[in-house]
Amino acid sequence: RKKLVQVKNLTKTFTLGKGLSLTAADNVSFDIYEGETFGLVGESGCGKSTTGRTIIGLYQPTTGEVIFDGQNVHQASSAVRSKLTRQMQMIFQDPYASLNPRMNIAEIISEGLYLNGLYKGKERMNRVIELLEMVGLQREHANRFPHEFSGGQRQRIGIARALAVNPPFIIADEPISALDVSVQAQVVNLMKKLQQEQKLTYLFIAHDLAMVKHISDRIGVMYLGNMVELSASEILYESPKHPYTQALLSAIPVPDPDLEKSRERTIIEGDVPSPINPPSGCVFRTRCSVAKAVCAEKKPIWQEVDINHFVACHLYQ
Ligand code: SF4
Ligand code: MG
């Protein structure tokens, strides 16, 4: 399979002044194959959005690189950069804040077309209508304003806006986290349908494993700027290896009440430590119930412990 996106040893450190710095992404590596959905999961502040934003070129990496379709995103000439910018679009978490309240839906959706000089005149409006229908809205909606829509409808508008310029790759940064539970599945199903129709590749960012379950082919779990586990999603749900992934999974309620009662739960104690002053050794050790002495001394290596199953944990080294 073709690797559409290659993230290689990506580190992004922000300088905060007063000699302080924050490493939001620490030596993160993964590939995204063409046509798949890669789920990127972790608590807020773990570096998922920073990783996404660096991939798309909004941030310059401190070290490491991102290759998109064979091109280095951060070293591309400006002509190549503008092509890459069009090929990578984003869907945002908050469908309330991400749509300009003073623009009507046609203007919002066609802004990218305008900026890229695509579909002129009447064709542009036809494209807007086509996009509205693709996301399950109607042509009559084109002249309305964001406040006239529900959260789910607004996210559909955000999706139409992202698709307008025909990108092969979409980063969805917590696209369903702000929506009612009843609407979340609709948006996920829409994204799956569009993926098939438009041959899209997704990076789907979420803060818990339940949200990415029905859409991801593979999943990467991040904790405090580090990728701690990566595998095919069935494998990750059935036999998670990293103690953090195990704890995240045990937090997802099981529908069967008898099963739910008999289940062992791993509660993750305490809060995520400050990324300004992360723990020595394994970043998860302050909350890990099976930490050993070595966990404070040495950072576990990111390694393939089973075919296509990567983990960073001393239990497997
Ligand atoms: Fe826990 Fe040690 Fe594994 Fe970190 S390396 S997850 S502290 S066992
Ligand atoms: Mg985020």
Q: Which CATH superfamily is domain 3-316 in?
A: P-loop containing nucleotide triphosphate hydrolases (3.40.50.300)
Which parts of the chain register pLDDT below 70? 254-257, 259-267
pLDDT value at residue 96: 80
Q: Is 262 left (phi over 0), alpha (psi -120 to 50) or beta?
A: alpha
Determine the 3-state secondary structure of 27 from DSSP.
strand
What digits encode the pLDDT tens for the residues 121-178?
Answer: 899 999 999 999 999 999 999 999 999 999 999 999 999 999 999 999 999 999 999 9
> For 61, which DSSP code?
-
Ligand 2 center–CA 176 separation, angstroms: 12
Looking at residue 173, what is its pLDDT? 96
Note whether 230 and 220 are within 8 A (CB).
Answer: yes
Which atom of ligand 1 is closest in space to residue 244's alpha carbon? 6
Question: What is the pLDDT at residue 260?
Answer: 66
Distances (CA, A) of 271 to 13, 285, 299: 21, 12, 20
Rounded distance from Cα 286 to ligand 1 centre (Å) = 9
Q: Is 116 left (phi over 0), alpha (psi -120 to 50) or beta?
A: alpha
For ligand 1, residues with CB inside 6 Å are 242-243, 282, 284-285, 288, 290-292, 295, 300, 313-315
Cα separation of the two ends of the chain: 29
Q: How confident is the model at residue 213, as a pLDDT? A: 87
307 burial (CB, 10 Å; 0-12 / 13-18 / 19+) is exposed
Query: How far apart, in Å, are the Cα atoms of 31 and each of 9, 27, 72, 179, 241?
Result: 11, 14, 14, 29, 20
Residue to probe by mutation, ligand 1, list 288, 305, 317, most atoms within 8 Å of CB: 288
Domain ranges of the chain: 3-316
